[in-house]
Amino acid sequence: MLVLSRKAEQSLIVGDDIVISVLGIEGDRVKLGIEAPRSVRVLRAEVFQQVRSANEDAAVRGARPSVHNVAAAIRNRVPAGTTS
């Protein structure tokens, strides 16, 4: 793992077309801005895990979960006031 220190309003570049910027630091929270092509999926780790878990559960059951069930699971696990 590469570990970098950045201050507010500083950025780093991943590959040729992804820019990650530190937008602000408030206490123990860091706000990041990510510029990436639409073809690059950018998800919070906990959302990625929920999607993967829902996919694995569906594969085991052999049935497709409804969009409403997945959305409800995500709403119940993501703290209020946060965005994906």
Read off the pLDDT of residues 38-80 as tens digits, 9 standing for 90 and up: 999 999 999 889 989 888 887 777 655 567 777 777 877 655 5
Residues 21 and 15: beta-carbon distance below 8 Å: no
Threshold 0.75, pTM exceeds: no
Q: Where are the domains of the chain?
A: 1-40, 45-77
Residue 62: Cβ-neighbour burial (10 angstroms; 0-12, 13-18, 19+) = exposed
